[in-house]
Amino acid sequence: MKKILIIVSAVILALILIRFSITKYSEYSRAKSLAMTSTPTVELGEVKEIDIYKSIEIPGRVQSMNKVDLVARIDGYLQKKHFKEGDFVKKGQVLFTIEPTQYLNALNKAKADLQNAKATLYKAQRDYDRGSELVKKDFISKSTYDGLYADKMAAAASVKSASAQLAEAQRNYGYTSIKAPVDGKIGSLQIQEGNYVTISSGTLATITKTNPIYVKYSIDSKLFEELRQKDFIPKKGSAPIKVDVILPNGETYPIKGVQDFWDNQISTTTGTIDFRATFNNSDNILIPGDFVKVKVYSNQKNRVLVVPQDIVLQDSRGRYVYTVSNDKTVSQKYFKDDGQYENYWIIKDGLVLNDKYIATNITKLMPKMPVKVVQKEQNTSDVNNKK
């Protein structure tokens, strides 16, 4: 009985092992068949050579071309503001009114005083003219004539004094309207309407000119001469150096700037020399005080090797492209880059001219996976041209 149980158990175990082997073999066959039928097709590209203007990236900061603090130039009550905080204002636009009554009264009085002085001068001039004729005929004494001359000169001086007082009154009255000296964006109000202000009250508000706008950056003195040799520093009579700004969100500002200034000395504290580029900022994307990256382009063209960025992958070892090995499987080829240019990586080492790489179906591939290489499809226009 015991032997029978052992034999039955052995048969059952054998049947289970046979069934398991058959199942595994079927799965293997199906996987192999699927792999053969689903081998991805790929097209190849080649490392190419292009001419570019080399660039360097430097930290920079946006700076207003002009920043103006608005202050009171006379004493009086701040009667009204004529703007909304944060508005863009135009040069000559009235921004504040200081209570003008006393200054208008002073202006009217100065005008009246001038008219009175002119009238006095007119009479003194007429008396002097008559006295000139009479003294020739000895009808009046010399001393009387001298008195007429002195009256005329005093009256003329009074006219000049009254004219100066009128100019001063006009100036003070003009200061009751505080106008924007530049185009720009006005900030927050520092002193509220209704307060009494004086010439020592401080800033009422600040206007920041935002278009055009500066971006300032500094270059280490050790690099300065090297960059000059590579035409990153403009030489006399050469074309302006073009500059891009990379915004904090990583996007490139759509308008190129021009490097228009570099300082005449190296800072003794930082060992750097200051540069400045000017940008059109009509959309007010660049904000004064913002930290950005500055990309400065050389005026000298360089021939470099490149690969498209969209076919490049990266892992802990670095950047690489997929290539096809002799056994028609995928392999990795690592390279070192020398920065970016438009949609390309610039090759520093690891790839050479005309090296082939896989250019399609990158996301479907893995190392050692078999692939089928196909030629790039020719479009109709290319075929027609060859005919």
Yes or no: say if 127 and 151 are a contact pair by the CB < 8 Å rule: yes
pLDDT at position 358 over 70:
yes
- Give me the mean pLDDT over the 210-230 stretch: 84
What pLDDT is attached to residue 382?
Answer: 45
CA 245, CA 232: separation in Å to the nearest integer? 16
What pLDDT is attached to residue 14?
Answer: 62
Yes or no: say if 245 and 215 are a contact pair by the CB < 8 Å rule: yes
Q: 190-196: which pairs have CB atoms within 8 A and are 24 or more residues apart?
A: 191/78, 192/78, 193/78, 193/79, 193/80, 193/81, 194/77, 194/78, 195/77, 195/78, 196/75, 196/76, 196/77, 196/78
Confidence of residue 22 (pLDDT cuts 50, 70, 90): low
CA 337, CA 75: separation in Å to the nearest integer? 65
| Backbone angles phi and psi of 288, in degrees to 5 | -55, 135
What domains, with CATH codes, occur in the chain?
52-63+211-373 (2.40.30.170), 69-99+176-207 (2.40.50.100), 101-175 (1.10.287.470)
What pLDDT is attached to residue 375?
Answer: 84
What pLDDT is attached to residue 56?
Answer: 82
Give the DSSP per-residue string, 109-142: HHHHHHHHHHHHHHHHHHHHHHHHHHHHTTSS-H
Read off the pLDDT of residues 116-140 as tens digits, 9 standing for 90 and up. 999 999 999 998 888 888 888 888 8
pLDDT, averaged across the chain? 85
What pLDDT is attached to residue 282?
Answer: 87
Element (H, E) at 68: strand 66-71
Token pair for 1: 């009985």
Q: CA torsion, points 100, 104, 107, 109, in degrees to nearest 10?
A: -140
Q: Helix, strand, or coil here: 238? A: coil
Yes or no: say if 142 and 121 are a contact pair by the CB < 8 Å rule: no
**Percent of the chain residues topping a pLDDT of 70:** 85
| Rg value, the chain, Cα | 43
Element (H, E) at 272: strand 272-279
H helices present in the chain, as ranges: 2-37, 101-136, 142-174, 221-229, 380-386
What pLDDT is attached to residue 31?
Answer: 45
- Give me the mean pLDDT over the 33-57 stretch: 79
Read off the pLDDT of residues 142-197 as tens digits, 9 standing for 90 and up. 889 888 899 999 999 999 999 999 999 999 999 999 999 998 999 999 999 989 99
Give the DSSP per-residue string, 311-355: G-EEETTEEEEEEE-TTSBEEEEEEEEEEEETTEEEEEES--TT-
